[in-house]
Structure 1
Amino acid sequence: MGAFIPQEIIRQKRDGQTVSDADIERFVAGITSGEVADAQISAFAMAVFFNGMSAEEGAALTLAMRDSGDVMNWQSLGFDAGAPIVDKHSTGGVGDKVSLMLAPIVAACGGLVPMISGRGLGHTGGTLDKFEAIEGYDPYPSIDRFAEIVRTIGCSIIGQTGELAPADKRFYGVRDVTATVESIPLITASILSKKLSAGLGSLVMDVKFGTGAFMPNYAASKELAENIVRVACAAGTPTRALLTDMNQVLGRTAGNAVEVVEAIEFLVNPATADARLMEVTLALAAHMLVIAGIEYSVEIATEKARQSLASGKAAELFEQMVTAQGGTPNILSNYQATLKVAAKAYAIKPKQAGIVTGMDTRSIGMAVVAMKGGRIDPKASIDHSVGFTDICQIGDKVDADAPLAIVRCHSDEQAREAIKAVQSAVVVADIKEAPLPVISEVIEG
């Protein structure tokens, strides 16, 4: 192998050529070590932006970034070869608390779910932020403790450490300031390099589209889903993706503590759960069980997941996981007393009575951020107690007695701004329109 010359790799991609696995590995190693300059990272990213990558190139980039840091080896931690280690990743949305219920549901059905989650980004909420609304919850246990929780309970949800895919952290920082964030091959490698560092046997993606999604355009979301499945399978991890609707808030809450409350009530009393939230959760659980080899059909797996809720087993495992990670003991019976939800509650009345026909879901997410329930500065702390409950959905009738939502906040000023935001975000008319199906498509590898 000759001398490493970063600009030659950039030239190859600029000219639409295929870059070899070895050259991609050397380039990523240079990102990690500092041998590759920011200007060279930027040039390579722009070349990929315009010329794309094959599935094989994407797999090489993903694996190189994965291997730039720690990678979980479950067999070295005492797990059997072929253990059903499976995870789910969502591209993010407003009110998306699915992971809180999904991990214990799959664990109750025999899966092993080592979920490495993130914080909120922009208008979207983060699973880690929701769990930190639970007093004492430790999102950063040692690797040995993480493995022990997965072994004994079946699931553990933790945060990303600094040793996880460090090449991606630097690469993303450059992309963020060079107008190359939207590159589908680079988004794919960024997502998968972090997810696959958990040593997964299989993965299910929840790729969202609509007004509250990272990629609101359906065609672009589908392209991303297809590319993730192709690249992950090429990298040796069986993967499938569900395209799910984010043209309205998922469930009836948006915030942190309020979403934990909805998740617990979903687990404890599934008969009263929001129908769209239930459909997405059960579908993701079923596909995780099938792709992990636990069940052979989605129909049987769906019923098994439903039974884990009805029996209370999933709720029990959620409580065990929270306790194992230092969170409030017996949270299922005392969550209303221990989860801190802002004391002031204001009903948000519609400007006119009628039927909800549309929603600017992103604006509702940003209204949570404006109350400090999300971050403007990535290093800032957040207020876990604020948010919205009883959020209307498309097709609901709203009037003075049936509000658009209830805002939970600390002051009249916060309430005024939140009320204006929600009233502007929700479209009310005299006609009733059927909402989009919550799951539009399943993409298999």
Structure 2
Amino acid sequence: MMLRLLTAILALVLGQAALPALAQNGPLRIVIDEGVIEPLPFAVPEFVAENAAAAEYAQNITRVIAADLEGTGLFREIPREAFLSTVTSFASPVQYADWKAINAQALITGAVSVDGSGRLSVKFRLYDVYSQAPLGDGLQFGGATGSWRRVAHKVADQVYSRITGEGGYFDSRVVFVAERGPKNERAKQLAIMDYDGANMQALTDANSIVIAPRFSPTGDRVLYTSYESGFPRIYLLDVASGQRRMLDDQPGTMTFAPRFAPDGRRVLFSLAQGGNTDLYELDLQSGRRSRLTDAPSIETAPSFSPDGSQIVFESDRSGTQQLYVMPANGGEPRRISFGQGRYGTPVWSPRGDYIAFTKQNQGRFHIGVMRTDGSEERLLTASFLDEGPTWAPNGRVIMFTRETAGAAGAPGLYTVDITGRNLRKVPYQGQGSDPSWSPLQP
């Protein structure tokens, strides 16, 4: 019942006709017949350590998988104390009656081994308890022992995808502005971490102000704006090597709000010159710059549609800050935001179905989504200051900056489902702002 229920709700909230559901008494089928959301109960016994060197990794990998799934708000882990069965061998037959008795709808089993060269191997299976059958084939992932968290995220992505019918997002990273110090004198530097706040590392020093980092479509490069020259300039950073270079260094101009094109070869950005701010495109290989807008208003925060055919951006050409869409090569923009308040920082969903944005209205800030024509506007959050949305690779979850009020107020990173459910703080140490979510790692 729960598996069909979850799939029905996922289909409804995502505006899709249907998604594959897990049948309780048969093969996969399409079922949309419920209207109340309830997290799916799952069991994940500790993965079997197939040799002594794998014991700690097996325990840690199991915990990360459980945390990934439960953190979505779509799954609920059944505590280990409730188990009637234990799994001591990956080859052991599943005691379905024991798992059904504790209301487990899905069961994840696995095994971990580490060879003499320090190579980690993780295999897993996913079972539909009520159908008493595996859900898909078993899989095996490998890697260095230092990459055990990535392997755990890959397993969780597979489980998530098989149950929901959507792509996963756990094996991804986030680049953001790490901040420290008092509110009126914060040190800022670029940092990168796993989507869940683990493995954080600095990408730049804190000697100058940095803002608005943006991942490339392949996740190996980052665009950002730095004030180290005294004026805002765009830089391109190679994540692996740390090498960077300034882009479009034209005297008498300021450049900011960069974003990659879907092909990764071009960059959209705002350029301010002579008191006017317009949108430009830069070819990274040739260095050729093209002007896309020419208006006395301020045009900024551009974002491509996933197919590269359109651009959404913010502009005050109507007298207030609103959202507009235009062809990717320029042309007449059309306004898509018409609600009360001001709109900014639009970002096109990787699925192409929604645009996320920041909205300010009556002294409150919101993260919201709307269809690409401006219809079906939905506000997901409300607080003293919420801003700067970025999409998970599967287009279901949004990460953003939330800053608390007062002299001691500090920025942090939060996530929320596109339904407005499951608001969570990203569990990392320190302060942070301006997140950008990477695609899934290769």
TM-score, normalised relative to structure 2: 0.23
Higher relative contact order (CA 8 A, sep 6+): 1
Q: Which has the greater radius of gyration?
A: 2
Instruction: Write 1 or 2 for the structure with the bigger share of strand.
Output: 2
